[in-house]
Amino acid sequence: GAVVSQHPSRVICKSGTSVKIECRSLDFQATTMFWYRQFPKQSLMLMATSNEGSKATYEQGVEKDKFLINHASLTLSTLTVTSAHPEDSSFYICSARDPGAGLNIQYFGAGTRLSVL
């Protein structure tokens, strides 16, 4: 199947700093990418849908100024957690839709574990 690379896999930062997470589709072009957040022992919750060349669509309750998404190319989307605080500590997962595999198939990155001290 298609490969989605997410970097970094783990990051620890001080409160108040910003953290950027990258999501790349390695062998396909992804016009649409998704960002999820997974709390311990809970399911994945969609944060936003990232569309190449346009603004991201955020789910209700997700602060767009807090979680900045940029999808500047067909193979790269970035999520920047701005002014991170301990409550932002979580597991962030991206996915990309492969148009060649069918409309509803998403391939997932390995996730990024963010710890804010």
Partner 1 sequence: AQSVSQHNHHVILSEAASLELGCNYSYGGTVNLFWYVQYPGQHLQLLLKYFSGDPLVKGIKGFEAEFIKSKFSFNLRKPSVQWSDTAEYFCAVTSRNAGNMLTFGGGTRLMVKP
**What are the residues binding partner 1 (CB under 8 A)?**
1, 4, 6, 34, 42-46, 49, 93, 95, 102-111
Tokens of 20: 């950027």
* C-alpha triplet 106, 108, 114: angle, nearest 5°: 140
Q: How far is the CB of 1 from partner 1 (least distance, A)?
A: 7
Q: How far is the CB of 108 from partner 1 (least distance, A)?
A: 4
Q: How far is the CB of 65 from partner 1 (least distance, A)?
A: 22
Biggest CA–CA distance in the chain, Å, is 41
Tokens of 54: 């346009």
Q: Which is nearer to partner 1, 49 or 80 (CB)?
A: 49
Q: Which is nearer to partner 1, 81 or 93 (CB)?
A: 93
**CB neighbours of residue 90 within 10 Å:** 21
Q: Which is nearer to partner 1, 86 or 102 (CB)?
A: 102
| Share in percent of the chain as helix, strand, coil (round to 5) | 5, 50, 45
Q: How far is the CB of 21 from partner 1 (least distance, A)?
A: 14
CA nearest to 97, candidates 38, 35, 53, 41: 35
Q: Which is nearer to partner 1, 19 or 47 (CB)?
A: 47
